[in-house]
Structure 1
Amino acid sequence: MTKIRTVSCPQCGAKVKWVPENRFRPFCSERCKQIDLGAWAAEDYRVPDGGRSDDVPADERHDD
């Protein structure tokens, strides 16, 4: 017998079954999926840039 894997919804934390029938996985619903997409579009999530500061224009940086 195969054990069904469950994960937490990245948006609300609800437990979600990781099965092909769940078309919103890893989210629990379309609502949570859309909230997450909106956060990406609004640039609420950011990937670290390796320590560079956005305060200094690229042409004025002293990268060695």
Structure 2
Amino acid sequence: MNWKTRPLVELAAGRVFVWLDDEVTGVDRRWVAEHHPGRALLRRVDPHHGLREADFTAVEEWLQS
């Protein structure tokens, strides 16, 4: 699990949040699903390309769902 996962969930305090990071893994997604009662989108960003249009589109679609 990423060292950021637990502090982000604590900071979110049950609120909806989006996390875009180049180190997000399935382990982080599972931990958040088990420990965070609110909605959360964890999306891995390619570290070589940074944020791309597809990332913004995915966030927008998730927020609208």
Instruction: Identify whether the pair has TM-score above 0.5, normalized to the shorter chain.
Output: no
Question: What TM-score does the superposition give when structure 2 sets the normalisation length?
Answer: 0.29
Question: Larger Cα Rg: Structure 1 or Structure 2?
Answer: 1
Query: Between Structure 1 and Structure 2, which shows a larger proportion of strand residues?
Result: 2
